[in-house]
Chains A and B, each alone.
Chain A
Amino acid sequence: MNKWTGLLRREWLEHRSALTWGPAVVLGLVLLVGLITLLANDHGEIAINIEQSYSGDRAPIEAPPGDLGLMEMIAAVTVDVAGSTDEELEQKLALVQTGLAQPFHWLFKLLVFLVLLSSLYDERKDASVLFWKSLPVSDTQTVASKLIFVLGVAPLMTIAAILIAQCLSLMLLTIYVEEGMGSRIWVASQFWQQPFQLVLTYIQLGIWMLPLATWTLLISSAVNRMPALYVFGLPWLLVMFETILLGTSYLAAAISTQLKGWLALSSVGGPGFFSGQLLGGVALAVLFFYVTVFFRRRNNEI
């Protein structure tokens, strides 16, 4: 095992509970909701919702995924598969796939924040920083390993959970729909493209998250108490300072752009992927990274 494998494995060992149990619980909940939906639909209850939502089971689906409930999305597919055109079925299934992934995306964003917030703070709190620093690993390597793990390795767990959820949901649908229609479900779902799509999505998400991730790491390495308060409190104070004293809101706008970038999880290659705001965020992340290394070098046990 080489040094980087060891460093990433160390991160995995420290955070594996959160990174496995979190997606597993969400997966369980999503499947439970899907199952209940299908069973309920069997009694005609969901069909009423669909009727209300789309004014008919063949209505084109135009609403973005976020505007629909998960149950409605799953139910949308189960209504009259045989009567849907291929295009309609693809639309409906895309809606289901996207909807299924949403809880996992949110969980991932939360885990990234929590893992990074605790990483360089907890090691100082329990004094283990003295042990880590007694080994030939530089502060730059340590900080980089935490960032690479959270944005490069941890997403694999989430992607795996999403794929399992999507696969199982398609299997449930296959069982549920009329005989002979199962193959149409799998073809229309374009399930085999999902892994590549998700990997690209998480690369994009990781780049958008870099400023927030490195800012969280910076605070984790710098403060001696209540890091979460500083992560949100300092930007808020700076925004207030700018608004009250200067009468401008550049900082608020910049923060808002960055947050929208990763909160929206827009489609890969969509507008803004290589935008000025994103590149500005990456530059800021580089600055935050080196400030984090500086604090990691100076600060020891709390």
Chain B
Amino acid sequence: MTVIQARGLKKSFKDVNALDGFDLQVERGRIVGLIGPNGSGKTTALKAMLGLSELEGGELSVLGHHPMSARAQLMEKVAYIADTGTLPKWMKVNDLLNYVAAVHPNFDRSVALAQLQRTEISLNKKVRVLSKGMHVQLHLAIVLAIGADLLVLDEPTLGLDILYRQQFYDGVLNDYYNAQRSILITTHEVREIEHILTDVVFIHKGRACLSLATDQIASEFIKLTSPEHASVPGQPLHSRPTLAGRESIYRGVPRDDLAKFGDLSTPNLAELFVAVVGADSGGQA
């Protein structure tokens, strides 16, 4: 089942095309990383999918709903954490849980309380006195207690230290994810989500410049580490000098054709991102 279907999304702000024909397809049970540089259109795309922003063109369906016209119905099945601390700071934790329980038919308060028991967050504290890490933990506890079909995370660990970041993704993976649920994540920290993604979409200048399953990366991309002046045939997506010689990333080139020129490996997501976005920019990044 297709959870998100986006075709040719368009949105501009003054003279800037934030989305310029953006395409995305997310299937049930997938964990998709939407990765792009600053200003690439990630957040604009997410806001459109969550019914927070009107589009100027394209077709968009999320769980069968048009997000902008049916946001309330959509949010019964979608959970969302934004890139900034968005919980109301004047509210007490307990009141916040009561409120969500009152308005959300799929919220299980006992699950949220069980999550909070693993933290140092007191129910009688106001959100404003919580540290940034606790703020994220509280938001995560609320989101994990929502029986949603789609979880959208927009730079959820921005500003958190490495310990919290690791705990956050462990929590999402262990306590939330199952084959019936899908997760869409945007982040700058490619390395920390690489191991949990099933699919990756690179977004650049408002367009998806790469979209594939992570298990296809090894068959489609090759990293060649060769001596600096080796004469390697073909045009790499990206090439850069290293202490050991030169690293080049190729797409769709048979491994056998490259094996004799150096060591072959599979590029990690960060290397692939630099290569693909660099190539999409019309030069080498």
A residues in contact (CB < 8 Å) with B = 1-3, 5-7, 9-10, 13-14, 123, 126-139, 141, 297-298, 300-301
Report chain A residues within 8 Å CB of B88.
14, 123, 126, 128, 131-132
* New A-B contacts (4) at CB < 8 Å, excluding given A6-B103, A7-B102, A127-B86: A7-B103, A13-B91, A130-B84, A138-B71
> Is A128 in contact with B87, judged by CB distance below 8 angstroms?
yes
Instruction: Specify the chain A residue showing the minimal Cβ separation from B78.
Output: A134
Contact B87–A136 (Cβ < 8 Å): no
Shortest C-beta distance, A260 to chain B (Å), equals: 36
Determine whether B53 belongs to the interface, using a CB cutoff of 8 Å to chain A.
Answer: yes
Which B residues are in CB contact (< 8 Å) with A132?
88
Instruction: Determine the chain A residues whose CB is within 8 A of the CB of B74 once the complex forms.
Output: 136
Q: Within the complex, which residue of A9, A134, A301 is in contact with B99, where a contact is CB–CB below 8 Å?
A: A9
Report the bound CA distance from A128 to B91 in whole Å.
11
Known: A1-B102, A9-B99, A133-B52. A127 touches B75 (CB 8 A): no
Say yes or no: B103 contacts A135, CB within 8 Å: yes
Separation of A156 and B105 alpha carbons in the complex (Å): 30
CB proximity of B209 to chain A, nearest CB, Å = 27
User: Nearest residue in B to A3 (C-beta to C-beta)?
Assistant: B103
- Quick check: is B175 within 8 A (CB to CB) of the other chain? no
Q: A5 to B87, Cβ gap below 8 A?
A: no
Among A6, A136, A298, contact of B98 (Cβ-Cβ < 8 Å): A6
Give the 10 A-B CB pairs with smallest separation, nearest first: A6-B102, A138-B72, A131-B86, A134-B80, A1-B102, A136-B75, A130-B86, A128-B88, A136-B76, A130-B82
26 A-B contact pairs sorted by A residue (CB < 8 Å): A3-B102, A3-B103, A6-B102, A6-B103, A9-B98, A9-B99, A127-B82, A127-B86, A128-B86, A128-B87, A131-B82, A131-B86, A131-B88, A131-B139, A133-B51, A133-B75, A134-B78, A134-B79, A134-B80, A134-B81, A135-B75, A135-B103, A138-B72, A141-B72, A297-B71, A300-B53
| Residue B123 at the chain A interface, CB threshold 8 Å | no
Q: With both chains docked as a complex, state the minimum distance between the C-beta of B159 and any C-beta of chain A, in angstroms.
A: 14
Q: Please, how many angstroms separate the alpha-carbon atoms of A13 and B78 in the complex? A: 26
User: B172 at the A/B interface (Cβ < 8 Å)?
Assistant: no
Most buried by A among B79, B90, B102, B139: B102
Alpha-carbon distance A13/B135, docked complex (angstroms): 20
User: In chain B, what residue has the closest Cβ to A298?
Assistant: B54
CA distance A13 to B89 in the complex (A): 12
Shortest Cβ distance from A7 into chain B, in angstroms? 7
State the Cβ distance, B155 to closest chain A Cβ, in Å.
12
The answer to whether B104 touches A135, judged by C-beta atoms less than 8 angstroms apart, is yes
A131 to chain B, nearest CB (A): 4
B82–A136 CB distance below 8 A: no
Q: Can you list, as one digit per residue, whether each of B31-63 has a CB less than 8 Å from chain A (1) or not (0)?
A: 000000000000000010011111000000000
A10-B99, A13-B95, A300-B47 are known contacts. Are A131 and B87 too (CB-CB below 8 A)? yes
Binding site for A on B (CB under 8 A): 47, 50-54, 68, 71-76, 78-82, 84-91, 95, 98-105, 139
Contact residues in A for B68 (Cβ distance below 8 Å) = 297
Closest Cβ neighbor of A123 among chain B residues: B88
Nearest chain-B residue to A129 (Cβ)?
B86
Q: Roughly how many angstroms separate A17 CA and B174 CA in the complex, as a whole number?
A: 41
Contact B104 A136 (CB under 8 A): yes
* A133→B84 contact, CB < 8 A: no
- Chain B residue at smallest Cβ distance from A141: B72
Residue of A5, A136, A300 with highest tally of chain B CB at under 10 A: A136
Chain B residues with CB below 8 A from A128, complex form: 86-89
B128 — nearest CB in chain A belongs to which residue?
A126
Chain A residues positioned under 8 Å from B79 (CB to CB): 134
Q: How far is the CB of A83 from chain B (nearest CB, A)?
A: 56
Q: Which residues of A contact B102 (CB under 8 A)?
A: 1-3, 5-7, 9
Measured in the bound complex, the distance between the Cα atoms of B44 and A300 in whole Å is 12
Contact yes or no, A300 B52, CB < 8 A = yes
Whether A1 lies near B86 (C-beta < 8 A) is no
Contact between B104 and A127, CB atoms less than 8 A apart:
no
A139 to B74, CA, bound (A): 13
Which of A6, A132, A133, A297 has its CB near the most chain B CB atoms (within 10 A)?
A: A133
Closest chain A CB from B91 CB (angstroms): 6
Q: Which residues of B contact A9 (CB under 8 A)?
A: 98-99, 102
CA distance A297 to B54 in the complex (A): 9
What chain B residues lie within 8 Å of A126 (beta carbons)?
88-89
Tell me the complex Cα distance, A5–B102, Å: 8
B residues in contact with A138, CB < 8 Å: 71-72
B81 CB contacts on chain A under 8 angstroms: 134
Distance A138 CA – B90 CA, assembled complex (angstroms):
22
Complex Cα spacing A126 to B88, Å: 8
Q: A32–B98 Cα gap in the complex (Å)?
A: 39
A7, B100: Cα distance in complex, Å: 10
For the complex, what is the distance from the CA of A249 to the CA of B81, rounded to whole Å? Answer: 51
User: Do A134 and B95 touch (CB < 8 A)?
Assistant: no
